Amino acid sequence: MITSKVYEPTEADINIASFQSLLSGMEANITAVALAKTPLDDARKNRLNFFYTEQTGLIDIVLGVKNYIKASLKNDHPQRKHILALNFSRVNL
């Protein structure tokens, strides 16, 4: 423990020992956040790839299917209107 003759408060919550304890807790929390954030970032990257990878991502596949439906089904087909009403769009990354 560091002791100082210059800084000797009488309040327990603002002495050097309590600040060192606070620092230890903050360091532990920073480490916990860093450990929890890595899997979250990986999951977000995987989700982004799943939806938006060019040609094999879900959005491109769905838009291709919609184009196929639009070209192959007649205008009076009962399912055509419902399928084409579903909106999917690419995001700008």
Is residue 82 a contact partner of residue 69, using CB atoms and an 8 Å limit?
Answer: no
Query: pLDDT digits over 24-83, tens only?
Result: 999 999 999 999 999 999 999 999 999 999 889 999 999 999 999 999 989 888 888 888
Confidence of residue 89 (pLDDT cuts 50, 70, 90): confident
Domain span at 7? 1-45
Shared domain for 36 and 63, answered yes or no, is: no
Please state whether the predicted TM-score (pTM) of the whole model is above 0.85: no
Q: Write down the residue that tokens 């579903």 correspond to.
A: 86
Shared domain for 61 and 87, answered yes or no, is: yes
Shared domain for 39 and 9, answered yes or no, is: yes
Shared domain for 88 and 62, answered yes or no, is: yes
Shared domain for 9 and 32, answered yes or no, is: yes
**CA nearest to 66, candidates 21, 58, 26:** 58
Total tally of structural domains belonging to the chain: 2
Shared domain for 1 and 38, answered yes or no, is: yes
